[in-house]
Chains A and B, each alone.
Chain A
């Protein structure tokens, strides 16, 4: 089955700096890679996703890159703000139909210091 590794487990940055979180996956059939943000005690919220037919996707301060050959994908947050502080999870699935399960990485606790 799929295995997703995520690094780092914690990341502390100064407000305004960039943050990068990296994930690797094992199943070459995986083709959908979402990123979720989870604030303390709250549900995971999708912040951005990427499909295997593109290498990069950007949404304002957030971008995701995908390297299918190396089987890794990364989340980039620019101009970080204190409200970006949360746990971020990457996930992967071989979503050839809509019903496949997500395999999550271990999470990264991002702390943005004002």
Chain B
């Protein structure tokens, strides 16, 4: 069964550094999402992406964040200047209709 994949599984970075989290959505899916989950808390929506542009974004998704689909398979989340509070698990998801399939997540630790 096809799955959403994400790399890296764990990223450790210094405050102020840029990070890029990578996702490969399921190949026939058209809608892509990034969510984050701070340890022990609920999953929070960041951004949705369709037809090569952002379709929705939350208040969390400020100017420090950007998304890109650089080629036909990858979907990336960039955090330009990381803050301590960006430490969380970041999940990518994709869907063809209603059901959103989640990737395994990238644990981002900002020191």
Contacts and interface: CB of A to CB of B under 8 A. Distances in A.
Interface stretch (B48-56, B63-71, B72-80): B48-56
B102 A32 contact: no
Interface of A: 32, 34, 36, 42-46, 49, 51, 89, 91, 95, 98-107
Contacts, number: 60
A91 B104 CA distance: 19
A104 B56 contact: no
Interface residues of B, number: 26
A27 to B, nearest CB: 14
B62 interface: no
A42 B98 CA distance: 21
A49 B99 contact: yes
B42 to A, nearest CB: 5
Contact of A43 (B48, B50, B95, B104): B104
Given A104-B42, A104-B43, A98 B104 contact: no
14 contacts: A34-B98, A34-B100, A43-B103, A49-B98, A89-B42, A89-B43, A95-B98, A99-B95, A100-B48, A101-B33, A101-B56, A102-B35, A104-B42, A104-B44
Contacts of A95: 98
Nearest to A43: B102
B31 A99 contact: yes
